[in-house]
Amino acid sequence: MRTKLRPKTIAVALGLTAALVLSACIEGPIEGTPSLSIGIDPAQVGYTTTEVFLFDRAEAYEADAPFTADGKLAVSADPDTSGADFKTRLVVIRPNRGFNGTVYVDWLNVTGGADLPVDWAGAHREIVRQGAMYVGVSAQAVGVNQLKTANPSRYGSLIHPGDSYSYDIFTKAAKAVRTDRNVTGGLKPRRIIAMGQSQSAGRLVTYIDAIQPIKDAFDGFIVHSRGTGGAALTQSPLAAAPVPNPLAIRDDLDVPVFVLMAEDDVIRSNTLVRQPDSGLLRTWEMPGTSHLDVYLSRTTGIDYGDGLASKALWDEMRAPRPLGSCASPQNAGGLTYLLRAAFHHMNEWVRYGTLPPAGAPIATTATGPTVLDRDAYGNAKGGVRSVQIDVPIATLDGLNSGGGFCGLFGATRPFTTEQLQARYPSQAAFLVEYQASLDANVAAGHLLQVDADELFATAKNRVKRLPLPAT
């Protein structure tokens, strides 16, 4: 059952004037440009960007029974709290025409101390190709407080009572998207898919296991780069309610969940959260990828579908740039192309009930800690594969070291001239093998044809730079 948003009287409690309130709990659209690193200019691909403020009271939850590792977390609203006022923001990127009815609602990642739209960065090409809408939600206190500090004239009125309330804030964001046309620019959503990467994926795991069964707010979930557990249900200043670690995604949901794991996510999780595929659960483990790669960090902002980004990734594989104190240059693999395929299948799954193609797990030789089975060039075997590791010009993995976030960046080690010449007899032979790999990945459903065409065009353009005979 869909619950109604709270009435306009909440505006009085938060000190808002009635003139600013266009619907039950929405202020805006807010004039000016939202503070969010979107990368591309959505206007150049036929999209409009707006921002609204969402305000209400949020609930915290408590356990109804001891939590168990199977993910079946029984919770209810905490009777010892009367809820807490909040006011947060939603960034909406919507198509000017041809809306397909799908909205991707992103639990914005705050690991870096500010909101980041990681999965918009990784999959915006496919979101736009679908004609879908994107909504980024500032669900956590870190993101809201950073906005208030960095831009008080725009965001000074925002309120976040703490992350114990983040789950209900996310639910209310979904309900606002589903019911309020001031949020969606007059467009009518038909399906709402939640997504989150890294820390946000951990929040989503807890949301899926504890909140979705009682709130029924989303029609599906994309969980990208989760860890072994989930986020705590409540935390300081409320009494802490951690969840088990490892924690499975519950197997009795009635909506689909797509789990996407980069190579280093599999290593860090030590395979403890592997679950068998089912009619409502799919997992892709993606060798040759990293938690935060070159595309997510830099290349996304130049990717308008003209091939420039594909060429930039190729060039990074051949001549990668050093990365601060990190031991190796950042991974320049094919993560974005796998994400685009996954988003395509997720839309088809929620819209038509079409199951995404399965994928083998990444091959391992040991666990505790996890050791991946690698080929002679150091690329991992098994998993949902990309042309970048099946027809390689570099070793691509999820391993790195150094200060800060280096451990999340993965690595690129270009093949030497000797390695290239030992692997490929000629540029022509390389292209034949490259095309065969692309065709196989498209047939498997792990690559979209439009992206295969772009990748092959890049290979034809750049193969002349490889130190190989032409024929």
What gap in Å lies between CA 391 and CA 381, rounded to an integer? Answer: 13
pLDDT tens digit sequence for 176-235: 999 999 999 999 999 999 999 999 999 999 999 999 999 999 999 999 999 999 999 999
Mean pLDDT for the stretch of residues 59-88: 95
Burial of 370 (0-12, 13-18, 19+ CB in 10 A): middle
**Is the distance from CB of 229 to CB of 246 less than 8 angstroms?**
yes
Percentage of the chain exceeding pLDDT 90: 94
Quick check: 81 pLDDT over 90? Answer: no
Q: What is the mean pLDDT of the chain?
A: 94
Can you give the pLDDT at residue 5?
32
At 23 the pLDDT is 44
Whole-model pTM: value is 0.94
**Percentage of the chain lying above the pLDDT 70 cut:** 95
- Give the per-residue pLDDT at 408: 97
Strand-strand pairing, 102-107 and 371-372: unpaired
CA contacts within 13 A on the Cβ side of 299: 31
Whether the pLDDT of residue 418 is over 70: the answer is yes
Tens of pLDDT, residue by residue over 270-323, are 999 999 999 999 999 999 999 999 999 999 999 999 999 999 999 999 999 999
Flag whether pLDDT at 104 surpasses 90: yes
The Cα 208–Cα 211 span in angstroms is 6
Q: What's the pLDDT score for residue 266?
A: 98
Write down the pLDDT at residue 24. Answer: 53
Does residue 13 surpass a pLDDT of 50?
A: no
The per-residue pLDDT for range 147-160, each reduced to its tens digit, is 999 999 999 999 99
- Partners of 366 in the β-ladder: 371
pLDDT of amino acid 3? 30
- Cα 444 from Cα 2, distance rounded (Å): 38
- pLDDT tens for each residue of 443-460: 999 999 999 999 999 999
Structural domains in the chain? 10-255 (3.40.50)
Q: Which residues pair with 261 in a beta bridge?
A: 285
CA distances from 289 to 158, 397, 448 (A): 37, 6, 18
> Does position 14 have pLDDT exceeding 90, yes or no?
no
Distance (Å, rounded) from C-alpha 251 to C-alpha 219? 16
CB atoms within 10 A of CB 272: 17
